[in-house]
Amino acid sequence: MQLEKIASSFRIDGCPVSCQEFGSGHINYTVKVLTDSGNEYVLQRINKFVFKDPVRLMDNVGSVTDFLRTRVEDPRMALHFISTHDGKFYFLDEDEEYWRMYDFIGGFCLDAPESEEDFYQSAIAFGRFQHMLSDFPAHTLFETIPEFHNTVDRYRQLRESIAADACGRLAGVKEDIAFMLDREELACRLQKLRESGELPLRVTHNDTKLNNVLLEKDTRKALCVLDLDTVMPGLSLYDFGDSIRFGAATAAEDEPDISKMSMDLHLFEVYTRGYLEAATALTDREVELLPLGAFVITLELATRFMKDYLDGDVYFKVAYPEHNLVRARAQMKLAADMQSKFDEMNRIVAQVAAEVRK
């Protein structure tokens, strides 16, 4: 089916005059659409091999973005998904491919911060996202990836892979496994607090990297959060923790020389300040546990890399045979560094919270 015909299935202003491939994403096929009225839209084909239930995914995305649009001061601060002529947030073509469309918002994204201000702005974006959705009924959302941050279950899966030792790799990683198992109780603490109800269920983004924040061209201020495919119910600490894991680390996620890997306390403070300035609806308990959130998400990812290494690299794409092991060890080093800095991280959170939560 022609792209112009697919685009015309949505309630857009004007008729499509051009459809050009757009962006650098690796999951969904993306096209920028221009109409004869001068309006611009983004048309995407949802990757149904990655996202098994596109209909429920778009139920999540549609309900969350509709809710956000009632809370924003500037319409550019929330994605606006366009419905089809029959009122759906997706279009199913004759090849049974799922498509969606939203307004194009001028701006730019960064793969890595070019300044501390860029990192701070990402904190503002994700903190504001959390704040605006603080009274959204998170339990009504579909779990796009079931048990995604259930660390208790992640450890169960790791133990199964240890027991199976499908590729005979266990002998070379026993010290690494011991490191993970020694910290299992601490790593599983947030999940248990979630199950007990001590921590509130929130709408979480689950991919809180800088490249999912749209920045305004002239001011470089945060406009809105992008890529809502993994929006699910969870803990605010997951999103905060993943931002720190990715943005405050001193080395790449797969750095082979783990001596280069640590957490930058100054960047931790920069992000914490922006996040708490914007996410004003967090409970005191959530704020107190922010450092633990960073540790838990980092170690959880390490267990996932290690499981995949033991299983024979069946989940994560690898560039060489030891890639998942290198990733796991880099994340373990980062988690260990965070653990050694808990006192300082707690001090920073308490100080920043006292200054911005008056």
Report how far residue 142's alpha carbon sits from residue 233's, in angstroms, rounded to the nearest whole number.
8
Report how far residue 168's alpha carbon sits from residue 180's, in angstroms, rounded to the nearest whole number.
19
Please give the DSSP secondary-structure letter assigned to residue 259.
G
Q: Where are the beta strands (DSSP E) in the chain?
A: 16-21, 29-35, 40-45, 91-92, 98-103, 202-204, 213-215, 222-225, 232-234
Where exactly does CATH 3.90.1200.10 map onto the chain? 116-356
pTM over 0.75: yes
In a structure prediction context, what are the per-residue pLDDT tens digits for the chain, which is 358 residues long?
699 999 999 999 999 999 999 876 667 899 999 999 999 999 999 998 888 899 999 999 999 999 999 999 899 999 999 999 999 999 999 999 999 999 999 899 998 899 999 999 999 999 999 999 999 999 999 998 889 999 999 999 999 999 999 999 999 999 999 999 999 999 999 999 999 999 999 999 999 999 999 999 999 999 999 999 999 999 999 999 999 999 999 999 999 999 999 999 999 999 999 999 999 999 999 999 999 999 999 999 999 999 999 999 999 999 999 999 999 999 999 999 999 999 999 999 999 999 998 7
Which fold would CATH assign to domain 116-356? Aminoglycoside 3'-phosphotransferase; Chain: A, domain 2 (3.90.1200)
Where exactly does CATH 3.30.200.20 map onto the chain? 3-103
Which fold would CATH assign to domain 3-103? Phosphorylase Kinase; domain 1 (3.30.200)
